[in-house]
A and B are shown apart, each in its own frame.
Chain A
Amino acid sequence: MNDILAPARTGWPARLAAPGRGVLLVGLALAESVLACVVAASAMLIPLGIGLYLFPPSMAGLTGLAERARRYAGQWSGVAVSPGRTRPAVPAGLLGRARWCWRTLTDREFWYEYRWSLADPIVGALIAGTPFSLVVYGIFGALVQPFVWRPIDQAGGSNWYTMVHVNTGPRALLAVPIGVAVTVLGFYCGPWLLRVHARLTRALLSPDRTEELTRRVEQLVDTRAAAVDSSAAELRRIERDLHDGAQARLVAMGMSLSNAERLIERDPETARALVAEVRQSSSKALQELRDLVRGIHPPVLADRGLPDAVRALALDGPLDVEIDARLAHRLPAPLESAAYFAVSELLANTAKHSEADRAAVDIALRNGLLYIRVRDDGCGGADLSRGTGLRGVERRLAAFDGTLRVDSPAGGPTVIELAIPCGS
Chain B
Amino acid sequence: MRVVIAEDLFLLRDGLVRLLREHGFEVDAVDNGPALLDLLLNNPPTVAVVDVRLPPSFTDDGLRAALAARRCHPGLPILLLSQYVEQLYARELLADGAGAIGYLLKDRVSDAEQFLDAVRRVAGGGTVLDPEVITRLLRRNDARGTVSALTERERDVLLLMAEGRSNAAIAAQLNVSDSAVTKHIASIFNKLDLAPSTDDNRRVLAVLAYLNR
Residues of A within 8 A of B (CB): 279, 282-283, 286-287, 290, 293-294, 299-300, 302-304, 308, 311-312, 315-318, 351, 357
Does A286 lie within 8 Å of B84, measured CB to CB?
no
Does B88 lie within 8 Å of A315, measured CB to CB?
yes
Interface residues of B in 43-58 (CB under 8 A from A): 52-53
> Once the chains are docked, how many angstroms separate the CA of A290 from the CA of B136?
14
Instruction: Count chain A CB atoms within 10 A of each CB in B52, B88, B89, B136 and give the residue with the most.
Output: B88
Minimum distance in angstroms from A357 CB to a CB of chain B: 8
Does B140 lie within 8 Å of A300, measured CB to CB?
no
5 pairs of A and B residues whose beta carbons are closest in the complex: A318-B143, A315-B87, A303-B59, A312-B88, A303-B60
> Once the chains are docked, how many angstroms separate the CA of A21 from the CA of B213?
59
User: In the assembled complex, which residues on chain B have CB atoms less than 8 Å from the CB atom of A300?
Assistant: 86, 88-89
Secondary structure type dominating chain B contacts: helix
User: In the assembled complex, which residues on chain A have CB atoms less than 8 Å from the CB atom of B86?
Assistant: 299-300, 312
Does A318 lie within 8 Å of B110, measured CB to CB?
no
Does A283 lie within 8 Å of B110, measured CB to CB?
yes
Beyond A299-B83, A299-B84, A303-B59, is A316–B107 a contact (Cβ under 8 Å)?
no
Does A302 lie within 8 Å of B59, measured CB to CB?
yes
Q: Is B91 among interface residues, defined by CB-CB distance under 8 A?
A: yes
User: In the assembled complex, which residues on chain B have CB atoms less than 8 Å from the CB atom of A303?
Assistant: 52-53, 59-60
Minimum distance in angstroms from B163 CB to a CB of chain A: 15
Minimum distance in angstroms from B11 CB to a CB of chain A: 15
Does B88 lie within 8 Å of A318, measured CB to CB?
no
Residues of B within 8 A of A (CB): 52-53, 59-60, 83-84, 86-89, 91, 105-107, 110-111, 136, 140, 143-144
Does B110 lie within 8 Å of A282, measured CB to CB?
yes
> Once the chains are docked, how many angstroms separate the CA of A286 from the CA of B53?
17
Minimum distance in angstroms from B194 CB to a CB of chain A: 21
Does A304 lie within 8 Å of B60, measured CB to CB?
yes
User: In the assembled complex, which residues on chain A have CB atoms less than 8 Å from the CB atom of B107?
Assistant: 282-283, 286-287
25 contacts between A and B (CB under 8 A): A282-B110, A283-B107, A286-B106, A286-B107, A287-B107, A293-B83, A294-B84, A300-B86, A300-B88, A300-B89, A302-B59, A304-B60, A308-B88, A311-B88, A315-B87, A315-B88, A316-B87, A316-B136, A316-B140, A317-B140, A318-B140, A318-B143, A318-B144, A351-B143, A357-B144
User: In the assembled complex, which residues on chain A have CB atoms less than 8 Å from the CB atom of B52?
Assistant: 303
Minimum distance in angstroms from A284 CB to a CB of chain B: 10
Contact of A312 among B87, B111, B144 (CB under 8 A): B87
Instruction: Find the A residue at minimum CB distance from B84.
Output: A299
User: In the assembled complex, which residues on chain B have CB atoms less than 8 Å from the CB atom of A312?
Assistant: 86-88
> Once the chains are docked, how many angstroms separate the CA of A242 from the CA of B91?
31
User: In the assembled complex, which residues on chain B have CB atoms less than 8 Å from the CB atom of A282?
Assistant: 107, 110
User: In the assembled complex, which residues on chain B have CB atoms less than 8 Å from the CB atom of A311?
Assistant: 88
Instruction: Count chain B CB atoms within 10 A of each CB in A290, A303, A311, A351 and give the residue with the most.
Output: A303
User: In the assembled complex, which residues on chain B have CB atoms less than 8 Å from the CB atom of A294?
Assistant: 84
Does B140 lie within 8 Å of A304, measured CB to CB?
no
Instruction: Find the A residue at minimum CB distance from B53.
Output: A303
> Once the chains are docked, how many angstroms separate the CA of A158 from the CA of B144?
91
Instruction: Find the B residue at minimum CB distance from A317.
Output: B140
Instruction: Find the B residue at minimum CB distance from A294.
Output: B84
Instruction: Find the B residue at minimum CB distance from A312.
Output: B88
Minimum distance in angstroms from B203 CB to a CB of chain A: 22
Minimum distance in angstroms from A321 CB to a CB of chain B: 11
Instruction: Find the A residue at minimum CB distance from B87.
Output: A315
Instruction: Find the B residue at minimum CB distance from A318.
Output: B143
Minimum distance in angstroms from B18 CB to a CB of chain A: 19
> Once the chains are docked, how many angstroms separate the CA of A293 from the CA of B83?
10
User: In the assembled complex, which residues on chain A have CB atoms less than 8 Å from the CB atom of B83?
Assistant: 286, 290, 293, 299
User: In the assembled complex, which residues on chain A have CB atoms less than 8 Å from the CB atom of B59?
Assistant: 302-304
Instruction: Find the A residue at minimum CB distance from B63.
Output: A303
Minimum distance in angstroms from A254 CB to a CB of chain B: 17
User: In the assembled complex, which residues on chain B have CB atoms less than 8 Å from the CB atom of A279?
Assistant: 110-111
User: In the assembled complex, which residues on chain A have CB atoms less than 8 Å from the CB atom of B88?
Assistant: 300, 308, 311-312, 315
> Once the chains are docked, how many angstroms separate the CA of A312 from the CA of B136?
12
Minimum distance in angstroms from B52 CB to a CB of chain A: 8
Instruction: Count chain A CB atoms within 10 A of each CB in B84, B91, B111, B136 and give the residue with the most.
Output: B84
> Once the chains are docked, how many angstroms separate the CA of A248 from the CA of B33?
36
Instruction: Find the A residue at minimum CB distance from B91.
Output: A315
Instruction: Count chain B CB atoms within 10 A of each CB in A290, A299, A318 and give the residue with the most.
Output: A299
User: In the assembled complex, which residues on chain A have CB atoms less than 8 Å from the CB atom of B87?
Assistant: 312, 315-316
Does A315 lie within 8 Å of B140, measured CB to CB?
yes
> Once the chains are docked, how many angstroms separate the CA of A293 from the CA of B110?
21
Minimum distance in angstroms from A324 CB to a CB of chain B: 16
> Once the chains are docked, how many angstroms separate the CA of A290 from the CA of B105?
11
> Once the chains are docked, how many angstroms separate the CA of A155 from the CA of B83?
105
User: Contacts A299-B86, A315-B91, A316-B87 given; 14 further ones with Cβ under 8 A?
Assistant: A279-B110, A279-B111, A290-B83, A293-B84, A299-B83, A299-B84, A300-B89, A302-B59, A303-B60, A304-B59, A304-B60, A317-B143, A318-B140, A357-B144
User: In the assembled complex, which residues on chain A have CB atoms less than 8 Å from the CB atom of B140?
Assistant: 315-318
Minimum distance in angstroms from A257 CB to a CB of chain B: 14
> Once the chains are docked, how many angstroms separate the CA of A333 from the CA of B86?
20
User: In the assembled complex, which residues on chain A have CB atoms less than 8 Å from the CB atom of B111?
Assistant: 279
> Once the chains are docked, how many angstroms separate the CA of A304 from the CA of B88?
11
